[in-house]
């Protein structure tokens, strides 16, 4: 069984989710928009095993380096979006005038892969469109979509690497 905690972070008001396996206390953070006191309080003293990235745009990865250093969590992303972790041009940070703290992935995942979180299983599905390597994560009866879906809308597909096909 999983417990899900949710909050909104950053000037672009991105959703972040903390998923915790209730049997073991092991947790995963879905997207890491910033390394701030608010984010650190959100994570608290949980046993963070993974940072699950839905895609590599700067507004979803900006806090990865700092939170990884704090928690030793493994950074999980698709092979297509992995280069965005170390390129402010690819992540669109340079385009938006944002600063990027470069980092690398610990785990590359793709469609059909599974991730074990304590006694729970997270299924990975590939959802290209917003980016070439967009991912969604399915846990129990929940799906975490990042920018694949927006509230009352599909995600934007007009960025470099995006496709509405």
Residue 163 pLDDT level (bands cut at 50, 70, 90): low
CA atoms within 13 A on the CB side of 5: 13
Collect all residues with Cβ–Cβ distance below 8 Å to 150 and sequence separation of at least 6.
156
Q: Indicate whether 165 belongs to any domain.
A: no
Write down the number of H helices and E strands in the chain: 4, 12
User: Is 119 domain-assigned?
Assistant: yes
Question: Does a structural domain hold residue 159?
Answer: no
pTM of the model: 0.89
Span 11-22, pLDDT tens digits = 778 889 999 999
Q: Which residues span the domain enclosing 95?
A: 2-154
Instruction: Provide the 10 A C-beta neighbour count for residue 150.
Output: 12
CA 109 to chain centre: 12
Please give the full DSSP string across 31-88, using - where no structure is assigned.
Answer: -----SHHHHHHHTT-EEEEEE-S---HHHHTTHHHHHHHH-PEEEE-TTTGGGGG-T
Q: Tell me: the pLDDT tens digits for 37-61?
A: 889 999 999 999 999 999 888 887 8
| Number of independent structural domains in the chain | 1
């Amino acid at each position: 069984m999983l417990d899900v905690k949710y909050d909104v972070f950053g000037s672009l008001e991105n959703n972040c989710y903390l998923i915790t396996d209730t049997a073991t206390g092991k947790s995963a953070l879905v997207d890491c928009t910033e390394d701030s006191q608010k984010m650190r309080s959100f994570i608290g003293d949980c046993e963070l095993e993974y940072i699950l990235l839905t895609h590599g745009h700067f507004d979803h990865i900006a806090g990865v380096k700092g939170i990884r250093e704090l928690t030793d969590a493994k950074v999980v992303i698709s092979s297509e979006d992995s280069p965005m972790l170390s390129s402010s041009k690819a992540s669109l940070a340079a385009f938006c005038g944002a600063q990027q703290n470069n980092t690398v992935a610990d785990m590359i995942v793709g469609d059909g892969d599974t991730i074990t979180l304590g006694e729970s299983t997270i299924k990975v599905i590939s959802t290209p469109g917003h980016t070439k390597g967009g991912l969604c994560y399915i846990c129990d009866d929940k799906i975490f979509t990042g920018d694949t879906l927006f509230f009352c809308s599909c995600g934007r597909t007009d960025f470099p690497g995006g496709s509405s096909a």
